[in-house]
Structure formats: C-alpha cells, structure tokens
Amino acid sequence: MQSEWTSASRVSSNAWTRLQLAATPGSQLWRLASENCPSGWSSSRSLVPSPWIALAARADLILVRDRIAEAARYYHHDRAVVVRTGLDLDEERWHLWHELVHADDGDEAGHTDIRRERWVDREAARRAMPITTLIWAFGLAENWHTAAALLKLPEARVRWYVGSALEPDARDLVRRASARAS
C-alpha cells in the first residue's frame, strides 16, 4: 500500500513537470490551470477539483465521519454529509462529490431512486472530472490506472464516466489527447 501511494505521488509530480513544460503561457490550458475558481471548487495549484474545498465553500454544510453501512449519505434536515469512517481517500473524494450534488439539490429522499442516482452520479463525475482535467490526465497517463491516480478517483468510476457516460464530443477530445500521448 505504501509503495502504491509513493508511486502515485511520483507520477503526479512527473505529470506536473510535464504539464508545466507542455502548457505554453497564454494558452487556454495554461489559463485554465492558473485561474482561481470563484465558486471555490478548485485551486490555483491543481487541475483536479477538490470536493473538500467545495464543501468549505458551503458554510451551512457539515461533514461527519461515522461507522455507517453505506459509503456516504446526505441528511437534508441537518445539512450534513456523513461519510463512512475508513474509506480510501479516492473513494471518499468520489462519494463526497456525489453527496454534494444531493446537498446542492436539497434532496431529502436519500439514495432511493435509481434513475435519480444515475443523474447524481453523472453530475458528480462532471464536477470531479471537468473536460480540461480529463484531457490533462489522459494526455499524461499511459493507462486507466495511471489516469485514475492522476484524477485521484477510483479507477472504476473513471472507466464508467469516460467509457460510457461522457458526452460523445468530450469523449472524442479525451481520446485524441490520449492518442497524442502514446
């Protein structure tokens, strides 16, 4: 486990060096990588959006970690996102994005409506993996595993979103970025 994390952070660090070399000052990628997001979901130092920053931007919402059966849940009455204690960080990142969508929508029903859940997952993925971020990650990664490490998300979620849930035009952009890298 330790070596996996060490190697993931080395990949990230190399990726940053390559991104800095590749992104010409003044280009769109450079601008997107440099600007602060006014809604607080990103930072000037990373192309990977942070749900914890998004959470901090929502002053009335709290995060609680507890020993619950499901991975995470949103309680509208308490304006609380509860995440299961001990989740891997990439899992927590994903589930936090999912619960933030519920919270922003004021959902009271929990995860009961399958069609609704599909929409929430798609919206969570859109926030977790903006197209610029995908192009960056797939331009650097040699496989799904490394792309997921760069995106800091579970590989299965990345495969699902890029493989079957992303808009065809956007998928094409990612595929082309990926082809350039190989």
Which positions touch Zn ion (CB under 5 A)?
Answer: 111, 117, 120
Cα distances (angstroms) measured from residue 176 to each of 8, 19, 100, 129, 151: 24, 17, 31, 17, 18
Q: Which is nearer to Zn ion, 45 or 115 (CB)?
A: 115
- Check if the beta carbon of residue 48 is closer than 8 Å to that of residue 150: yes
CA-to-CA distance for 48 and 133, rounded, in angstroms? 6
Q: Which is nearer to Zn ion, 103 or 141 (CB)?
A: 103
Q: Which is nearer to Zn ion, 8 or 71 (CB)?
A: 71
Q: State the minimum distance, in angstroms, from the CB of residue 182 to Zn ion.
A: 36
User: Which residues are within 8 A (CB) of 1 and not within 5 positions of it... i.e. 6 or more apart?
Assistant: none
Q: State the minimum distance, in angstroms, from the CB of residue 98 to Zn ion.
A: 6
Q: State the minimum distance, in angstroms, from the CB of residue 94 to Zn ion.
A: 11
CA-to-CA distance for 80 and 63, rounded, in angstroms? 6
Q: State the minimum distance, in angstroms, from the CB of residue 78 to Zn ion.
A: 16
CA-to-CA distance for 93 and 66, rounded, in angstroms? 16
Q: Which is nearer to Zn ion, 73 or 152 (CB)?
A: 73
Give the start-end residues of each E strand in 13-125.
Answer: 62-66, 72-75, 80-84
Q: State the minimum distance, in angstroms, from the CB of residue 97 to Zn ion.
A: 11
Q: Which is nearer to Zn ion, 104 or 117 (CB)?
A: 117
Residue nearest to Zn ion (CB): 111
